[in-house]
Amino acid sequence: MIKEKAEVVIVGGGIVGCSIAYNLAIRGVDVVLFERSYLASGATGRCGGGIRQQWSTEENIRLAMESVKIFEGLEEELDYHIEYYQGGYLVLAHTEDEVKQFKKNVSLQRKLGLNVRFLEADEINDIVPHLDVEAIGAIGATWCPTDGHANPFKTTIAYARAAEKHGAHIYKFTEVKGIKVEKGEIKEVITDKGKTKTKIVVNAAGAYSREIAKMVGVELPNKPYRHEILATEPLKHVLDPMVISFHDNVYFRQTEHGEVVGGWGDPNEPSSYNIESSFHFIVQMSRLLSRYVPKFRHVNIVRQWAGLYDVTPDARPILGPVEEVEGFIQANGFSGHGFMVAPMVAKLIAELIVEGKTSLPIESLNLKRFREGRVIKEASVVG
Amino acid sequence: MDSRIWQHPIIDFGERKGREIYFNFNGKPIKAYEGETIAAALYASGVRVFGRSIRFQRPRGWFCAIGKCSSCLMKVDGIPNVRTCITLVKDGMNVEYQDPRPNLPEKTEFECEHVKVETDIAVIGGGPAGLSAILSLNELGVDSLIIDENPWLGGQLIKQTHKFFGSKASYAGIRGIKIAEILLGELRKENVKSLENSSVIACYREGKGFKITAVKGHSTLYEIDAKGLLVATGAMENMLAFPNNDLPGVCGAGGVQTLMNVYGVKPGENALMVGAGNVGLIVAYQLAQAGVNVKMIVEAAPKIGGYLVHAAKVRRMGIPILTRHSIKAAIGKDHVEGAVITKLDENWNPIEGTEFEVEVDLICLAVGLTPSTEILMQIGCEHAYVPELGGHVAIHDKFLKTTLDNVYLAGDVSGIEEASTAMMEGKIAAATAAIDMGVNVEKAENLRKKSLHELELLRSSPFSKRVITGKEKVYSLMEEISCG
Ligand SMILES: Cc1cc2nc3c(=O)[nH]c(=O)nc-3n(C[C@H](O)[C@H](O)[C@H](O)COP(=O)(O)OP(=O)(O)OC[C@H]3O[C@@H](n4cnc5c(N)ncnc54)[C@H](O)[C@@H]3O)c2cc1C
Ligand SMILES: Cc1cc2nc3c(=O)[nH]c(=O)nc-3n(C[C@H](O)[C@H](O)[C@H](O)COP(=O)(O)OP(=O)(O)OC[C@H]3O[C@@H](n4cnc5c(N)ncnc54)[C@H](O)[C@@H]3O)c2cc1C
Ligand code: FES
């Protein structure tokens, strides 16, 4: 049977929910997490695992930089191998407009202390030798060597195990069906396996967060979008960084095991909860990959799958409390880049719950911003 | 060394083998015959180690011989990770050991043919189930196509040199290879559309129908649009857990049968058979027929699982069958050199002190099969774990409909059974597909009724009890689902 009472209930066992559970548990909070399927079954287990600090808005850059600091010590902190690898991120520019924007990004990023620089076209092959720079029409790139990637399954499991070690209760295959609210205050969380009394609920249900919010009468602007991705057979290590192009909406990297994992965002994808794989994707993606790296032409694809981006109107997450319901904390709307910022976001959410204040300001990421029209769109996304 | 079989009591390999050709293995020329797979030709010339494992660099040989286990991967003409057991050898081909984690292929030129095909029903798998399904579909006038990843259609039939049991309608008394010939003869006569040597690698739902992709020989991509799917992908042989079970020379019994009866290569000199079900008994007998010294058959259960006729044949050849015995470990460095056998107590635990060693270069595992249900899982059919049917199977009803509209299944993929029942299921699934499509409904209903009756007769022996229990489980799950 599930626990009768908890100080905090987290909905969702992805990277965000599990890392928050850990951060609360080490602060001595009595926390329960519900996941309706297995851990990392949502976007997390389906994601590219990329960790990038090269963003265009200050919050995102700071969040990502702080996360990287945590990632650097995470294997030790959680005592688990998460395949963290700082192979860098190569962000390709294909147009003069992109070059202009990227140079602007680089100067903001450098101002915030990031080790990043702009590369001319002829410098790109020094970083990724097999890339066909001419064929893909890249005229420049930005390069940050401390970006990287990790295994999203292992990172989630690492957080969950450590959270449990510190007293968190994690219930898998347990679906949240409703949340009881009285006079604007949370009373209990109702699941298909029983009820848990609590005053605080963290909504970390990824693309399903808006459904959770509906349970308490809160409207979130988030929309789900399918994103497809594939993995090749394992190869000897040939690729250090994650390579990404916003122009072609494509990214790829090589895992520790040796597979090349990469995705392409279809600009015509309608919003839906569909996560079936398509033939269209595999054709587009293989064409792109073999154009980017001609030597990929004879490499076999062994798997393809899809997951949901949880997209907000400004492509930035929604963090913190809401006005209508006390104790209803948002940690969602990551718009396709929630894995990389989760370690820091989790710390901030735990600080907010335990101390009532955060070590980095998250005010500007509150749900309010959409109502007040304070929206600055993040430009550096694979949409 | 050449371990090809030329004299065989049942098969004329001399007639079967094609032109003599040469290919390069790690730079050295090796003789082969057209129609052999790379792995068969290598095995015939004494090669036992085909590759190394990724993590511990352990030697890898072949296990299944039908493209299902990927332990035979090699670099062929510059392309890594080729399944050499289902790739036909060609004159002048370059075959090499590959690094377990291969290098990026150097080759960048790529000629790929992209062929689009449309059909009403795509039959995946050309064993007895798939073949009788496509023949029935054809007879009922349903436009259909059959796809198989092995070089030849026929599935397991093409290696079964023994006479079949069962009823007359299911070719009792005829050898499996003859049944394959009969079915394939009809197929050719009727001009049925078929794609051999083409692996179905993915399946998508598109609109109301399906899109499947199949690849042939690394160079042709078939994009097949179908209104319905009939999946008859058969089964994969089980592994058994014991130290060194991954040594080259530990093979599936069916894999050994393929090497021996399809490609005419003697699989070893001294063999141990693990499992005394029908498969173990039959393959042990056929090994002896091919001149292999079968030292013994060990069986963990207290009694022989297979038919007594088969056991008697084996005993007459002087092969001992040890019940309540099992393999404890394989011995060898780069390939099997022996095995440790142990006696088991009533709880199937090894009895200490009863171990003894046998000197063998081949260990055949005949310890059951698992349905090859990947395609049905991928497309989204609901599954259940049913031990009586061999593992996870797509939930279905007695008409062989799955939980998805227009997706049918037949044969071992629906539960491990026999070729005779697989053929009946093929007919039933085909008739159901025709009925659902509204084509030749009356004729299809008659065929279905007749075949259901035949199937019932085939399952009337006490040996079918287990399967019937399993089938009833899935039928009732199906009912639960369709009643919401
Ligand atoms: C193809 C793809 C590639 C991506 N690549 C990257 C990348 O390279 N780098 C990066 O940082 N990000 C990437 N992302 C985004 C990243 O995956 C997400 O932002 C991140 O995983 C979000 O984590 P989460 O824990 O919020 O959500 P999820 O992992 O979706 O977790 C939410 C969980 O809530 C559960 N849930 C939902 N409803 C209920 C309920 N009622 N009761 C109980 N549980 C419920 C779900 O089952 C799910 O497990 C990618 C996403 C996709 C789809
Ligand atoms: C040694 C032995 C003796 C036996 N003796 C008898 C007997 O006496 N009587 C009897 O009735 N039965 C016997 N059987 C059982 C019988 O062989 C099987 O039950 C029967 O072959 C199952 O038929 P099937 O069509 O379902 O599968 P299979 O014959 O296994 O055929 C499946 C086919 O699907 C193809 N395939 C699979 N996946 C794909 C893919 N992704 N793309 C393309 N093609 C694919 C495979 O290449 C294969 O050709 C015996 C079996 C063995 C091993
Ligand atoms: S795939 Fe070739 S031996 Fe199994």
- B342-396 per-position pLDDT tens digit: 999 999 999 999 999 999 999 999 999 999 999 999 999 999 999 999 999 999 9
State whether B119 and B214 are in the same domain. Answer: yes
Instruction: Answer whether residue B48 is part of any domain.
Output: yes
State whether B213 and B121 are in the same domain. Answer: yes
CA distance B304 to B322: 9
How many angstroms separate the alpha carbon of residue A306 from the centre of ligand 1? 11
User: Are the Cβ atoms of A295 and B202 closer than 8 angstroms?
Assistant: no
State whether B302 and B401 are in the same domain. Answer: no
Instruction: Answer whether residue B20 is part of any domain.
Output: yes
CB B267 within 8 A of CB B4: no
Give, in degrees to the nearest 5, the angle at Cα A186 between A182 and A187.
Answer: 75
Whether B295 shows a pLDDT value over 70: the answer reads yes
Q: What is the pLDDT of residues B91-134, one digit of tens each?
A: 999 999 998 888 888 888 888 899 999 999 999 999 999 999 99
Nearest CB neighbour to A236, from listed B78, B101, B218? B101
Residue with tokens 């798997």: A303
Nearest CB neighbour to A298, from listed B105, B206, B223? B105
CA distance A105 to A107: 5
Nearest CA to ligand 2 atom 51: B279
Residue A110: per-residue pLDDT: 97
DSSP letter for A349, please.
Answer: H
Where residue B381 sits, what CATH number does that domain have? 3.50.50.60
User: Are the Cβ atoms of B101 and A278 closer than 8 angstroms?
Assistant: no
Nearest CA to ligand 2 atom 38: B233
State whether B230 and B258 are in the same domain. Answer: no
Residue A383: per-residue pLDDT: 59
State whether B354 and B422 are in the same domain. Answer: no
| Pair of tokens at residue B50 | 């085909």
| Pair of tokens at residue A199 | 């005053």
User: Are the Cβ atoms of B81 and A294 closer than 8 angstroms?
Assistant: no
Q: Helix B419-437 crosses helix B128-139 at what angle (to 10 degrees)? A: 30
> Ligand 1: does its nearest atom lie under 6 Å from the Cβ of A34?
yes
A278–chain B nearest CA distance, Å: 6
- Among A324, A290, A285, CA closest to A306: A285
Whether B16 shows a pLDDT value over 80: the answer reads no
CB B274 within 8 A of CB B245: no
Residue A380: per-residue pLDDT: 76
User: Are the Cβ atoms of B204 and A258 closer than 8 angstroms?
Assistant: no
Q: Which ligand is nearest to the CA of A9?
A: 1
pTM of the full structure? 0.92
Instruction: Answer whether residue B170 is part of any domain.
Output: yes
State whether B285 and B330 are in the same domain. Answer: yes
Within 6 Å (CB) of ligand 2, which residues are found? Answer: B 66, 124-130, 147-150, 155-156, 160, 162, 164-166, 199-200, 232-235, 254, 257, 278-279, 282-283, 372, 411-413, 417-420, 422
CA distance B186 to B184: 5
Chain B residue with minimal CA distance to A301? B201
Mutate to test the pocket of ligand 3, among B53, B76, B83, B262 (most ligand atoms within 8 A of CB): B83
Where residue B18 sits, what CATH number does that domain have? 3.10.20.440
Chain B residue with minimal CA distance to A292? B108
Q: Dihedral through CA B135, CA B140, CA B145, CA B151, nearest 10?
A: 0
> Which atom of ligand 2 lies nearest, measured to the CA of B129?
25
Q: What's the pLDDT band for B167 if we cut at 50, 70, 90?
A: low
User: What's the complex ipTM?
Assistant: 0.87
Beta-sheet pairing, A89-93 with A140-144: antiparallel
Chain A residue with minimal CA distance to B99? A236
Say how many CA atoms lie within 13 Å of A342 toward its Cβ: 31
Residue B484's identity, in one-letter code, is G
State whether B257 and B327 are in the same domain. Answer: yes
Beta-sheet pairing, A260-264 with A223-232: antiparallel
Of B334, B354, B369, the position where a domain reaches its end is B369
Of B347, B369, B391, the position where a domain reaches its end is B369
State whether B421 and B474 are in the same domain. Answer: yes
Residue B6: per-residue pLDDT: 84
State whether B92 and B125 are in the same domain. Answer: no
State whether B24 and B76 are in the same domain. Answer: yes
> Ligand 1: does its nearest atom lie under 6 Å from the Cβ of A14?
yes
Question: From the CA atom positions of chain B, what is the Rg in Å?
Answer: 22
Q: Would an 8 Å CB–CB cutoff place A167 in contact with chain B? A: no
Number of domains in chain B: 3
Instruction: Answer whether residue B102 is part of any domain.
Output: no
How many angstroms separate the alpha carbon of residue A128 from the centre of ligand 1? 29
CB A369 within 8 A of CB A377: no
Q: Would an 8 Å CB–CB cutoff place A120 in contact with chain B? A: no
Mind giving me the DSSP string for B201-241? EEEEEETTEEEEEEEETTTEEEEEEEEEEEE---EEEPP--
> Ligand 3: does its nearest atom lie under 6 Å from the Cβ of B73?
no
> Ligand 3: does its nearest atom lie under 6 Å from the Cβ of B64?
yes
Instruction: Answer whether residue B440 is part of any domain.
Output: yes
State whether B472 and B418 are in the same domain. Answer: yes
State whether B254 and B343 are in the same domain. Answer: yes
B404–chain A nearest CA distance, Å: 15
Residue A376: per-residue pLDDT: 76
- Among A212, A132, A210, A170, CA closest to A32: A170
CB A364 within 8 A of CB A40: no
Beta-sheet pairing, A200-203 with A194-197: unpaired
Mutate to test the pocket of ligand 2, among B418, B454, B458, B459 (most ligand atoms within 8 A of CB): B418
Q: What is the pLDDT of residues B196-242, one digit of tens each?
A: 999 999 999 988 899 999 999 878 999 999 999 999 999 999 999 99
pLDDT along chain A (383 residues), means of 10: 96 98 98 98 98 93 96 98 97 97 96 97 95 97 97 98 98 98 96 98 98 97 97 94 96 96 95 95 95 93 96 95 96 96 98 96 94 78 68
Count CB neighbours of B468 within 10 A. 14
> Which atom of ligand 1 lies nearest, measured to the CA of A174?
43
Instruction: Answer whether residue B4 is part of any domain.
Output: no
Residue B166: per-residue pLDDT: 64
Chain B residue with minimal CA distance to A297? B108
What is the extent of the structural domain holding B38? 13-96
Residue B207: per-residue pLDDT: 84
Whether B170 shows a pLDDT value over 70: the answer reads no
User: Number of CB pairs < 8 Å for A and B?
Assistant: 56
Q: Dihedral through CA A112, CA A113, CA A115, CA A121, nearest 10?
A: 30
Residues linked to residue B200 through DSSP beta bridges, in sequence order:
B214
Instruction: Answer whether residue B385 is part of any domain.
Output: yes
Chain B residue with minimal CA distance to A280? B204
Nearest CA to ligand 1 atom 49: A42
> Which atom of ligand 1 lies nearest, measured to the CA of A340?
11
> Which atom of ligand 1 lies nearest, measured to the CA of A338?
19
User: Are the Cβ atoms of B102 and A236 closer than 8 angstroms?
Assistant: yes
Instruction: Answer whether residue B241 is part of any domain.
Output: no
